[in-house]
Each structure stands twice: as structure tokens, then as C-alpha cells.
Structure 1
């Protein structure tokens, strides 16, 4: 397995500081690594070929780096293919995992009810509260002003929240505004890592690295992960106030952050073994 990591913008021969522990773990495990230029991939006028220059040919490459838009990932994959590098996760699989519309149908029974075809209208929920996001991200750090709609029957107040969400996301907005039914969750989230349809690691969520919930319900997500057929994903699980486990998010594992309390060697060992299985 060839591990692709983002280069440090200030020291191009080294991995970005955030991913340096994974670079060190790969060296410890004897896994080959190569660097890609994330800034070049995400530039206004990107040069994907330049971004992956120097990456050697390999039949099984996995990216572990900063988030890329689906079209940016596809451009990277194309440039890598021209060099004889095959990403384990295809552009189509990346989009399916990275964007909510790609995975929602498979998980609709175990995740909050959602729609993304309403142009931000929350009225279809009928009553209660809603949470806003786009196809890849919410603004939970701006919870009151651009994420939570406390009462979907108050159309004017709801539209103010939607407008603020659009304003803050700006050009970074991916897809459209997604409206999700609010559910009250309790306790910390668990981040579960799946390779080839099998859960290989359970960690804390990066936002609460010292809090790992006991016994998250892996069977809740297993059928959907198998149905989706995605090579490497994360599924975030949390308890609802009624005690039932729920899926908060499914994401592509290549761009899912690892909590600081999980040794990188654990993740890379599981990832390499899963690819060889």
C-alpha cells in the first residue's frame, strides 16, 4: 500500500505537520509514502499533474490528507492514473462517501431524516427543530446563528438561519443546503473505521479525543456499509436521548481526521491489512 500524504507548504520534502505522525508510523511499518501538493490541488487554477509529481507507480494507493472537493479528488485521481497510480477509492466512491446524498439512502433508517431538494425550506418537517448543513459539512461552531432552526413553523426565523448559513459557507458551499430533523443526542460520539466493509477500528471522535463511548452499536451501520461497497469509510455513532444509537455521519476515511489519542500505527496497520485481505 502506497500512502499519499499532503506536503508541508513550508518544507516541501516533508509531510504536513498534522500528518507527520502518520508518516512516521508508515516508516515504522515499512509502508512506502509519497507527497502530494494539497495547495496546488485546491488552487483557483489547479495543476493536478504538478501536484502529484514524483509519486511512484503503485497499484494500491491510499490518500490520508486534508479534505478535497469531489471534483478535486477526481482531478488528483486522473493525474495519478497518468503516472500508473491506482487509488483504492475511485472518484465515484469518494463522492458517494464524502457527500451526504451518496450515502443517505442506505442509512436513512438509522440517521436523522434529511432532504436537500427544498432550497433551504424547512417547512416539510411539519414541526420541531431542524439542523442545517451542506453535502459535506455543517457549521456547528455557529450553532445558534447558522445551524439550528429551533422551530420550523417560524418561517421568517428559519430563513434567517438559512441565509446566515449560506453567507458563512459562501463559495465553500458544496451542493445545496441540507435540512435534517433535529434529534437530541447524549454523550460523546464514536468514530468507527471500516475497510472493505468491515469495521477495523473504533476510536473517540476527534472533537472529544479523551471520551470514547462504551460499546457503540456497530451492527447499526454494518448492513449499510456493506450495501454501499466503499473501500474505506468512517461512520460516526452517538446515543440519542432515548438510548438508541444513531448514525451522525458517514465519511470517506481518507479525509476523516484521526483523534490525537489513537496511535497512527493502529490505523495504518488496519488499513494496510484490509487492502491485502
Structure 2
């Protein structure tokens, strides 16, 4: 196995500082580590140069900054030309990274949702009516603006079309060119705990811990990810994170599923523990 991490932009011979602890832990565990020019991946330019440091004929896991699905697919294709196979294919990355890819398999575990294929008002109104009245949370296929909760995330009443569109318009302004896919409306549900981040390799939960947004909020002692396991395994995705939180009625709910390669590790999870969990199933 090979671990690919972004290079430091100012010192390209070293790992990016954010991922250096994981790179060091992997190297100490006997996993080969190599670097990639993340800026080149984002630009989509000269992919051959971006992956020029990769050893040929290996299976790789990427641990790095988030990439748009089309950029990840180009990355995977450039690696394949060198004989390097990413454990997660481009199609698998999109399914994990973008809500429409994973939502159908987690129906019943996650808030009801409706989405558009772009940012037009008429498409937004169709999604709004499809979800029905009541409160909702707005996001795009990969990200919300929860730090701008009242102006760009929370919609108090979907039946008030003009008020809902004002929230959507502000969301679009803030996301700008970073918008991915379209607008997603998620039924608002009252949650009572911090999110728990779970890590899954080949459909099995290998690690449970705090969410990076609340790294010191450990999961409750009674927390058990097993009930959602069959639904996660049915996705057939090699490496994902599933974030869960407790609803006010005592039911655990999936807030987000993401590709594990670009999901942040909370600082309270030791890099050695993380690397061991990630690579042990493939050993």
C-alpha cells in the first residue's frame, strides 16, 4: 500500500504540515509515503507532473485536501497511467463526496432531502415544494454554510418561497465559484449531541471518535454504530466517514457521509491509531 499526501507548498520535498503527523505515523508503520502537488490537482493542469513522484505498480490511499469530483477523477486517471490504482475510484469518490450519491442508500437514517442540478430559482422552488412545508437546512452537494446559520443555512418555513430564496441567494453569494452541483434542502431535525465521526473501510467501522468541529466531545459510552452498518456496507465504498448525532427523540441520525480520504481527523485521534485503523484491514 501507498499513502499519498499533499506536499508543503513552500517546501515541496516535505508533507503539508496538516498531514505530516499521519505521514510520519504511516512511515513508522512501514507504509510507503509519497507527495503530490495539491495546487496542480486543483488547477487540473499538468497532471503527469503532479504525480511524477509516484512509484509505479502500487495501490494507493490519498489523504489530503478536498478535491472536486472531476479533479479527483483526473488524478486517478493520471495515477493509472503510472500503474498506480487508487483504492477509491473516481466514481466511488463522487458517490461518497456528493450527497446525491449516498443519500438513496441511507434513506431512513438521514433527514429527508431534495436537491437541484443547478442554482436556478425555478429548480429551487420545485425542490422546496417536493420536500414540503416546515423548516429545512440548505447546503450544496458537499458543504453547508452552517457558520452563517441564520443568513445562509436555516430556512424557517419552506412554504415561504421568497424568504427561502433569500437564504438560498445568500448561500450562493457566499459559496461563489466553490458551489458544487446544486442546492440541497434537508429537513430540519433537532439534535441534542455533538456529532460523532465514524470511519469505515470496506463496509466495516474501524474507528469511532469525536468530530473535528468538536474534538473534545467524545462519543457517548452507549454509542454503537452497528445499526447503520448494513446500509453503509451496501454502498460498496472502500473508505468513508459517517457523521452521526442524536435526535431529540433519542434516535441516532446520519448528518453526513464523506469520502474518508478528504475527511479531517480530529486532533484528539492520535495519528498512529488512525493509520493503524486505516491500513490494518488491507494488511
- Deviations along 1:224-245, one digit per CA (max 9) or x if unpaired, are 1111110000000100011110
**Residue 114 of structure 1 corresponds to which residue in structure 2?**
113
Q: Deviation of residue 147 (structure 1)? A: 0.5
Partner in structure 2 of residue 167 of structure 1: 173
Shift of 1:123: 3.2
Equivalent position to 1:213, from 206, 216, 219 = 219
RMSD over aligned Cα atoms: 1.2
Q: Is the 8 A contact 1:77 1:90 kept in 2?
A: yes
Task: String of CA shifts for 1:191-248, please: whole Å, max 9, x gaps.
Answer: 0000011000001000000001213331332111111110000000100011110000
Which residue is 2:155 aligned to?
Answer: 149
TM-score of the aligned structures, taking structure 1 as reference length: 0.96
Are residues 1:257 and 2:251 paired? no
TM-score (norm 2): 0.94
Trace 1:1-277 onto structure 2 (pairs within 5 A): 1-43=1-43, 46-117=45-116, 119-121=123-125, 122-214=128-220, 215-276=222-283
* Aligned equivalents of 2:227, 2:206: Cα separation in 1: 15
CA–CA distance in 2 between the matches of 1:67 and 1:275?
24
The runs of 5 or more residues in structure 1 that have no matched partner are: none
Q: Secondary structure of the equivalent of 1:162? A: helix
Supply the distance in 2 between the matched residues of 1:124 and 1:91 (Cα, whole angstroms): 30
- Following TM superposition, by how much is the alpha carbon of 1:48 offset from its aligned partner in structure 2, in angstroms? 1.2
What is the total number of aligned residue pairs between the two structures?
Answer: 275
1: CA distance, partners of 2:85 / 2:198:
25
Over 3 Å off, 4+ runs: none
Larger strand share, 1 or 2: 1
Aligned 8 A contact 2:198 2:205 in 1: yes
Distance 2:198 2:165 in 1: 35
